[in-house]
Amino acid sequence: MEFRLLGPFEIEATQPVSIPRRRERCLLAVLLLEQGRSVSAERLADLLWDGAPPSTAGTTLRSHVSRLRATVHSDDVQILKHGPGYMVRTDPQRIDAHRFRSMVHQARAVPDAETRSGLMRSALDLWRGPVLVDIANSMIRDRLGASLEELRIETLDQRIIDDLSLGRHRDLIAELREIVAAEPNRERFTAHLMLALYRSGRQADALAVFDESRRFLASELGLTPGSELRALHEQILRGDAALDLPERVEVANAPTRPSTLRQLPHDIIHFAGRSQELAHLDAVAAIDGPAPTIVSIDGAPGTGKTTLAVHFAHQIAHRFPDVQLHLNLRGYGRDEPVAPASATETLLRGLGVDSELIPPSVDERSALLRSQLAGRQVLMLLDNARDADQVRPLLPGTGSLVIVTSRNQLRGLSIRDGAHRVTLNRLPADQAVELLSASIGADRVGAEPAAAARLVELCDHLPLAISIVAERADRSSTLAEVVHALEDEKARLDNLGTGEDDPHTDLRAALSWSYRALDEDAAAMFRMLSLHPANDISLEAAAVLVDLPIARAKASLDKLLASHMVEQRRGNRYELHDLMRLYATETADRDEPEDNRREAVHRVLDWYFHAAVSADSAMHPHRQRLWVKPFEPRTEPPQFASSSQAMLWFEQEYDCLKSVAGWAATNSHAGHTWRIVLAMISFLDRRIPVSDATALIMEAARAAEAAGDLFGHAYTLNSLGAQEINNGDRQAAIAYFSQGLDRFAEIGDLSGQAITLGNLGLAYGELGEHEKAKEYRTRALRLCEELGYTRGIALNLDNLGVAYTVTGNYEKAKECHQQASKILAELGDAPAVGTNEYHLGWALSSLADFAGAARAFRTAVAIFREYGNDRWAAAALGDFGLMLLDAGHPILARDMLSAALVTMREIADPRTQEFEAALAKLA
């Protein structure tokens, strides 16, 4: 269980954790911020009730603690009564705020600017918004959040200073403009922006930033720029050479003295690939501090962990002239893993400690090992570790470099001991070909480059498979011959071996040995995973697929992971690579009854649909979802405590949902296809490029039409019309809406008719065809009133306001948006309020009510960001910038447009060119 306090309050756990009461979430957050320290009941009451606790605060507080204990209390997270108050006891690394402080402390100890900048950037990436932005009151923000916010600002300041010193001034400009626009009173960042612009050859722009800052300080605060900013302004005016980027001086490595202990295995002569991993390892190894630097290299069998570790160790061995240790811990193999007591003894003997001086207990041996290594420059390579507990007693106590390889991810070593993880995945295509070339000769690869590329692709870019194929290629006349043999998917495993039951020469044999060793649950999980339509799968979906409780499913996946029959990309997500999936399909066809396979597919399709509905409900609670029926969940779908949690789930599951919907469309499950896509609409609108979203909805519409599902076809046609509105193609939108209206009318669905009528009114209104627009809007409003659909009335008023704005009737538009705002506020529909305020900003801008428009745009941006709606937050920022330009504030307008374009370009929004053109005029 991990806790996120730097932004909206979130809990990440294997199963969703629901704490519905805001004050209880605040209580837990306060105790987590003060982790390991007792907080008195009096102080808790003061914080939770914002300085005005009621007389019943003590009783209520005890009730809150009791409920929290029932929800989150475990061996890892304990809520304890401590003296006159309470405390949380857990690993601080489970809490992002404490992890942030620790990472900043570590970064500050690093002398090298490039490494320090990277570490600080990683620390700052933990922030998702202000501390506890969704639950904190003013007292919690001021008393507990202020110091963290100040540390964030200090860290950001230092990171930018480092980046400027490294010559990254051009890359910093857009980021600094957004920072300055958000916090114009922080002169340090204004100075950084001026310096970045000046070093980019934009002296006039740098001076313009100073002028804008001076005007802001004078008009808003009655102040003048500080001495530092004024001095920088003068330096820029005269082109002071002191502002130029200083040349970096490379310091040669000092010659190393002869070593007394050299245990590294021999280097690999024909090492190929892994350049990115080597560069990362080199950067981490450069960290110099009082604590040992630990690197853990993990990955599946055959990915080359040991090869990489040995090769890298030889590259940097000259930096560690005193001691170079190596030990195979035998964590995975036929023999038992090396026990920590034996491992420490082996290392001590290697260091020359007499047997009679080696104490009996592991703790004493570990302490003696640390004493032996203290004050020495030590490189330690620990190969094939089983887990963190096996490694921890072997670690030096002071500055050294420890490289650990393991099939295990060694998370405990990262969390508790600060290890830097490097995960080896399959080789990139070019490096896989490079490895093949090193094995069979560059001339053969050069003679058949296309066959070589296809060959490594069929080997799944796995070094082990490539090595097996290279041996076969030596016995074949051409590479094309080997490719032809491997193209047959059913026979591919046959062709990746000798046919003997030898795991060293036959891939199927190696896999079958692992499969035979699995228990019943793990073997069933392995078989069922082959039925999953997408590349990766979450723990929850895997549990549904195999029809096991979460705990048993997790245990099964852990066993598969330990055997490297699945890969764990991140968190509780698992994946079968292509060759492993082929073997899993073989076992499913052979060992799993057909009825079991069919039922598993139905279960997982239902789960994905209802999970998507649950997430969409958290993002847009007031959205009408009549299309869910008649589908009922077979298993309990996940629940989401906030919009940000739901957005995160969609981001994690997006590729899976696309694959599942596509698979369902081609396998007689069209009802699941279009419903899953409709449940994704809010997410698609907020985060996905319009072209990609349109293609997905189009696929769902075709599936519904092919299946003769008029209900689904009607809804997807309406969604396609909405996409075309976003694209600006109103004629295409009208065509889709009209077809959708016909389908809804054909099946007598009044709610669907109300939706499409309102959308037709919007589209015709934007085209200036007022009579048609009025007809459709009137019919839509009448239907909404008949159905008692108050939200539909408000949405139609919002649409009507947009149509009036487009056709120039701005007063009418303002009136419609204000009416819609009142209804939506009463309903508590915040996302719809944000959209309506955004559209109100359009109308007020056109009326030259710039102050009112600014308020509307700010409100819209704040709501969009709160609900993770990046697309429309960026659009509102861009329109805010256009309004500021009309209002005579070109510098602020440029900042807004620049900030908006960062997201607009990323998602290929249709309005990107419009904002770019406006920005170009300012330049």
Answer whether residue 315 is part of any domain: yes
- Residue 220 reports pLDDT greater than 60: yes
Are 601 and 680 contained in the same domain? Answer: yes
CATH number for the domain harbouring residue 185: 1.25.40.10
- What the block records as the tokens of 513 is 């040995």
Question: Which of 746, 768, 788 is the endpoint of a domain?
Answer: 788
Q: Per the domain annotation, does 894 fall within a domain?
A: no
- The verdict on residue 404 lying in a domain is yes
Asked whether the predicted pLDDT for residue 242 surpasses 90, the reply is no
pLDDT on residue 871: 87
Higher pLDDT, 562 or 258: 562
Same domain, yes or no: 588 and 598:
no
**Where a domain ends, among 108, 133, 166?**
166
In a domain, 844, yes or no: no
Measure CA of the first residue to CA of the last residue in the chain; give whole Å. 49
pTM: 0.53
d(CA 648, CA 683): 10
pLDDT more than 90, % of the chain: 41
Q: Is the model's pLDDT at 780 over the cut of 80?
A: yes
| Distance set, CA 751 to CA 315, 747, 784 (Å) | 69, 11, 8
Q: What is the mean pLDDT of residues 696-707?
A: 95
Please state, in angstroms and rounded to a whole number, the distance separating the CA atoms of residues 413 and 696: 42
Residue 492: the pLDDT is: 64
**How confident is the model over 296-337, as pLDDT tens digits?**
998 776 677 888 999 999 999 888 888 899 998 877 655 578
What contacts 609, CB < 8 A, 6 or more positions away?
A: 631, 672, 675, 676, 679
| Amino acid identity, position 827 | L
- 322, with CB counted inside 10 A (0-12, 13-18, 19+), is middle
Residue span of the structural domain in which 782 resides: 710-716+729-788
Report if residue 920 sits inside a domain. no
Residues 622 and 753 placed together within one structural domain of the fold: no
51 lies in some domain:
yes
Backbone Cα Rg of the chain: 31
* Residues 32 and 144 reside in one and the same domain: yes
Among 612, 578, 425, 596, smallest CA distance to 525 is for 596
Which is more confidently placed, 142 or 231? 231
Is 798 domain-assigned? no
Question: 549 and 457 in one domain?
Answer: no
**CA pair distance 398, 288, nearest whole angstrom:** 11
pLDDT tens for each residue of 608-657: 999 999 999 999 888 889 899 888 888 889 999 988 899 889 988 998 99
If DSSP codes are grouped into helix, strand and coil, which group holds residue 81?
A: strand
Largest CA distance in the chain: 101
**Both 37 and 83 in a single domain?**
yes
Considering 13-17, 108-112, 644-648, the range whose residues carry the highest mean pLDDT is 644-648
Task: Determine the residue type at 119.
Answer: L
Q: Are 582 and 613 members of one domain? A: no
Between CA 500 and CA 702 the distance in angstroms is: 49
**What would the pLDDT profile of 406-444 be if each residue is shown by its tens digit?**
877 787 888 888 889 998 888 888 888 988 888 788 888
Q: How sure is the predictor about 547, in pLDDT bands with cuts at 50, 70 and 90?
A: very high
* Per-residue pLDDT band at 257 (split at 50, 70, 90): very low
Least reliable range by pLDDT among 135-144, 461-470, 638-647: 461-470
Dump the DSSP string for 28-71.
HHHHHHTTTS-EEHHHHHHHHTTT---TTHHHHHHHHHHHHHHH
Shared domain check, 390 and 345: yes
Are 153 and 160 within 8 A, CB to CB?
no
Per-chain mean pLDDT for the chain: 86
Same domain, 560 and 682: no
Listed residues 524, 559, 592: the one ending a domain: 592
741 shares its domain with 666: no
> Which of 245, 374, 400 shows the shortest CA–CA distance to 313?
400
What is the mean predicted confidence (pLDDT) over 710-718? 96
Q: Output 287 or 206, whichever has higher pLDDT.
A: 206
Residues 6+ apart with CB under 8 A from 356: none
In a domain, 821, yes or no: no
Work out the average pLDDT over 181-192: 88
For the domain that residue 568 is a member of, what is the CATH number? 1.10.10.10
| Whether residue 580 is found in the same domain as residue 611 | no
Same domain, 48 and 189: no
The structural domain count of the chain equals: 7
Q: Judge whether residue 794 has pLDDT over 70.
A: yes
One-letter-per-residue 3-state SS of 537-604: EEHHHHHHHHCCCHHHHHHHHHHHHHCCCCEECCCCEEECCHHHHHHHHHHHHHHCCHHHHHHHHHHH
